[in-house]
């Protein structure tokens, strides 16, 4: 009686056994990309901080009589400097991107080391402050534009009102979202740190209980 033909799955099984197993990722791999994400977020915050300081210094450098002999207070001068192209919707979107980069490790459920967690919280605080300043700058910019119309004794036409409204909605809106996102991310990181502390405490208690004689 003839022997049955060998199963077709046998060569596949032998090939799988012969193939080398994939090398596991080093333990430092997650930490490496987490550091890159947090550093990039901090870099975006530094860029926004430079722009913010530049706007304030530019406004203070304007003569007290204002450009073209237009008088106004210090908030008027800073508002002139804050208007396009310094403070725009792009500033708020960059800060939102920075918050997203900081939240990547939590979304990927990667364990964040304590120094990285502290750096993330610090960066989020800076982002929230910069976003708030950007929103206030947008309000001052719109105020300055209305003040210029008054100084020239001109009526604000419909097109100008729509442009200013669009500018304010975009810049102030994205800044407000960035503040809310940064504050929410700070809460997530702090809750994560508290959870790790509770786990470490419970692990210590379990170890002590296991080591104690019954």
Residue 136 domain flag: yes
| Three-class DSSP category at 78 | helix
The pLDDT value given to residue 131: 97
Residue 51 domain flag: yes
Say if residues 126 and 48 touch (Cβ distance below 8 Å).
no
Residue 83 domain flag: yes
Q: How many domains does the chain have?
A: 1
**CA 5 to CA 12: how far, in whole Å?**
15
What is the span of the domain harbouring residue 186?
Answer: 31-190
Residue 209 domain flag: no
Residue 77 domain flag: yes
Enter the pTM of the model: 0.74
Residue 214 domain flag: no
The pLDDT value given to residue 27: 46
Which range among 20-34, 47-61, 70-84 shows the weakest confidence by mean pLDDT? Answer: 20-34
How is 82-125 classified by DSSP, letter by letter?
A: HTTTTSSHHHHHHHHHHHHHHHHHHHTTPPPPHHHHHHHHHHHH
The pLDDT value given to residue 25: 45
Residue 54 domain flag: yes
Helices (H), 2-113: 9-18, 29-61, 74-82, 89-107
The pLDDT value given to residue 38: 94
Tell me the pLDDT band of 72, cut-offs 50, 70 and 90. Answer: confident
Residue 195 domain flag: no
Mean pLDDT, rounded, for 75-104: 91
């Amino acid at each position: 009686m003839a022997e049955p033909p060998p199963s077709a799955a046998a060569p596949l099984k032998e090939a799988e056994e012969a193939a080398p197993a994939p090398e596991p990722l080093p333990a430092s791999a997650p930490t490496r990309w987490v550091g890159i994400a947090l550093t990039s977020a901090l870099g975006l915050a530094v860029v926004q901080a430079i722009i913010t300081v530049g706007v304030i210094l530019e406004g203070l450098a304007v003569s007290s009589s204002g450009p073209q002999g237009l008088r106004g207070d210090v908030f008027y001068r800073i508002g002139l400097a804050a208007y396009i192209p310094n403070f725009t919707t792009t500033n708020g979107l960059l800060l939102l991107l920075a918050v997203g980069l900081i939240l990547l490790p939590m979304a990927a459920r990667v364990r964040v080391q304590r120094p990285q967690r502290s750096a993330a919280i610090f960066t989020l605080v800076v982002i929230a402050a910069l976003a708030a300043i950007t929103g206030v700058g947008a309000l001052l910019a719109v105020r300055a534009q209305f003040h210029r119309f008054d100084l020239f004794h001109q009526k604000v036409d419909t097109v100008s009102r729509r442009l200013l409204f669009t500018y304010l909605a975009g810049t102030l809106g994205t800044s407000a979202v960035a503040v809310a996102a940064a504050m929410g991310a700070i809460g997530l990181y702090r809750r994560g740190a508290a959870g790790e502390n509770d786990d470490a405490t419970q692990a210590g208690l379990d170890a002590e209980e296991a080591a104690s004689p019954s």
